[in-house]
Amino acid sequence: MTSPRHALVTGGSSGIGKSVARRLASAGHTVTICGRDSERLQQAAKELSEQGAPVTSLIADVSKPRQVGDLVREAVETNGPLGILVNNAGRNGGGRTAELSDELWREVLSTNLDSVFYVTREVLARGGIGEVDHARIINIASTAGKQGVLLAAPYSASKHGVVGFTKAVGKELAPQGITVNAVCPGYVETPMASRVRQAYADAWETTEAEVLSAFEAKIPLGRYSTPDEVASLVEYLTTEGAASITAQAFNVCGGLGNF
């Protein structure tokens, strides 16, 4: 039996984050989701509630340290000390390296990597996670955090950083019984996936459908993973049965990567 805890899921208004929130709420945890877009966040909270997975929704840009402080304080005041943190907020971004702007580079690194540091630091310092039994930190990285991805240098760099951060902090927090792991999705059918395919289609002067076929051909299972399949692993890592798993990075990718 897994003890119920308060879980914070960043980037919880769509895709993997929303699926993670649904699974954790359905498992009996109290869930707070955050996002930058108020309308999307409210819609996600409404959908989850209608599906029997009620959540608290808070607006925050987790790439901004001051907003992260406000987010964690309000989450704790509303639902109590945090016992689960899922750092999911992220964005795509890339192109030919010689043509990348400083702004794109910084935005991708700030959203995908800096946010993981900011939220983790705040939860450790002021989120009460050290007071909770079976505390968990789970970072959503990517198979791009283990290998280079063509025309995605900023994204690959940011996700490699998330994997390294996970392994370092996992060792640091192990004596406190707080486990820290990364989940590394491959191709997952989310709203972001469609944007990524269109970006490649533009770069290669082809169609999104052709890009989809090319990507699916690389996956041994022959299809994209689903957000719920990724969320299923996240949920498992929050259980008491996963108490000895820490400082690891697990792929959910249909066999795309075996590293």
- Provide the annotated active-site residues: 155
Q: Of 153, 138, 145, give the one whose Cα is nearest residue 230.
A: 138
Query: Are 134 and 147 part of one and the same domain?
Result: yes
Tell me which residue has tokens 């955050």: 34
Query: Are 63 and 164 part of one and the same domain?
Result: yes
Residue 9 · residue 75 · CB < 8 Å = no
Query: Are 56 and 86 part of one and the same domain?
Result: yes
Query: Are 89 and 25 part of one and the same domain?
Result: yes
- Is 104 contained in some domain? yes
In this prediction, residue 17 carries a pLDDT of 98
Query: Are 53 and 155 part of one and the same domain?
Result: yes
Query: Tokens in use for 75?
Result: 């989450």
In this prediction, residue 201 carries a pLDDT of 93
Query: Are 214 and 93 part of one and the same domain?
Result: no
In this prediction, residue 25 carries a pLDDT of 98
Burial of 201 (0-12, 13-18, 19+ CB in 10 A): middle
**33: amino acid identity, one letter:** I
Please give the residue range of the domain that contains residue 218: 189-224
Q: How far apart are the first and last CA of the chain?
A: 32
pTM of the shown model: 0.95
- Give every residue of the chain whose pLDDT is below 70, as ranges: 1
Residue 81 · residue 135 · CB < 8 Å = no
Torsion, Cα of 169, 170, 173, 174 (10° steps): -160
- Is 259 contained in some domain? no
Query: Are 75 and 99 part of one and the same domain?
Result: yes
In this prediction, residue 214 carries a pLDDT of 93
Query: Are 109 and 170 part of one and the same domain?
Result: yes
**88: amino acid identity, one letter:** N
Residue 184 · residue 162 · CB < 8 Å = no
In this prediction, residue 226 carries a pLDDT of 97
CATH number for the domain including 145?
A: 3.40.50.720
- Is 257 contained in some domain? no
In this prediction, residue 222 carries a pLDDT of 96
Query: Are 105 and 213 part of one and the same domain?
Result: no
- What's the longest Cα–Cα distance across the chain? 54
Query: Are 62 and 181 part of one and the same domain?
Result: yes
In this prediction, residue 1 carries a pLDDT of 53
Query: Are 112 and 212 part of one and the same domain?
Result: no
How many domains does one find in the chain? 2
In this prediction, residue 116 carries a pLDDT of 98
- Is 13 contained in some domain? yes
- Is 42 contained in some domain? yes
**194: amino acid identity, one letter:** S
Q: What is the phi-psi region of residue 125: left when phi exceeds 0, alpha when psi lies from -120 to 50, beta otherwise?
A: alpha
Cα(6)–Cα(16) distance, integer angstroms: 18
